[in-house]
Chains A and B, each alone.
Chain A
Amino acid sequence: MNMHRFANPGRFVRLAERILPWTGGLAVLALGIGLYLSLFVSPADYQQGESVRIMYVHVPAAWMALFVYTVIAAASASALIWRHPLADLVARASAPVGAGFTFLALATGSLWGKPMWGTWWVWDARLTSVLVLFFLYLGHMALSNAFDDQSRGNRAAAVLALVGFINVPIIKFSVDWWSTLHQPASVVRLDGPSIHPSMLWPLLIMALGFKLYYVSLLLLRVKGEVMAARLRARSMAALDAT
């Protein structure tokens, strides 16, 4: 497929407007069903009791924290290598959302850690590497807005995103490489998920809702970036005309 087919910003905005009602509607549906299942239908855990319900927001948020960073890294690579005009906008639009998901993963993890581990926070490999991820997002946001010429900021942020990508596999495998309080993966495993379907389904539906939410928000935010770029170009033209 020709990568630049959807590179035309005007065409992208029209396409986004066609897709948005679907992703938005499905996001609301999945989050609604997921919320109902995770609060009312799924059972309490035999070890964790009702506190296990925090997992239904914590795990999807943590997955999205990694997923959004991966999207930013991929977009940054295609911005640096192929100069794809929308790639920078996807990265810019994603960074604050990724930071939001990462903060949510940290905060909900902390709320679960207090009753279950007896502490809000430990400086172990998993928690520390996720905190680093949060700072990478903040750094990306700061850097992409640090220059008057936005394209220079975008390029600097893209380099940061690619260098920082090393943190993603570190987060994923941190629970296997170092001894940690955080439990190892129980859903994404080679031998299949090790949690019961009555808990797996609410979790997967919530995760789907989070992903659809991100896609919808991304479409809206990239549209905003396209319009902001148009606004800058138009104000320049208006200045030149006077």
Chain B
Amino acid sequence: MEQMQTFLAMGGYGIFVWPAFALTAVILIGMLVTTLNHLRAVQSDLDRLQVPEQTQAQEARQ
């Protein structure tokens, strides 16, 4: 427990060290999540546009 507290205190610099690492995590993970959301949105739009084309092609075959 005491070891943990010493570690978190970072020799008195904890209030500077931890925000720096937390901000890094937030930005790196945030950019990844934004990118993946965008990919998913574009993919679902593409799928929606593709469906009528396929039905058209099926209709044309019949």
Contact = CB atoms under 8 A, between A and B. Distances in A.
Interface of A: 35, 39, 44, 49-51, 53-54, 57-58, 61, 96-97, 100, 103-104, 107-108, 111-112, 114-115, 213, 217, 220-221, 223-224, 227-228, 230-231, 234-235, 238
Q: Chain B binding site: helix, strand, loop or mixed by DSSP?
A: helix
A61 B10 contact: no
Interface in B10-57: 10-14, 16-17, 19-21, 23-24, 27-28, 30-32, 35-36, 38-39, 42-43, 45-46, 49-50, 52
Interface of B: 10-14, 16-17, 19-21, 23-24, 27-28, 30-32, 35-36, 38-39, 42-43, 45-46, 49-50, 52
B31 A100 contact: yes
B32 A217 contact: yes
Nearest to A101: B27
Nearest to B36: A220
A224 B13 contact: no
Contacts of A114: 16
Given A44-B11, A57-B21, 9 more contacts: A49-B12, A53-B10, A100-B28, A100-B31, A104-B23, A111-B17, A213-B28, A234-B49, A234-B50
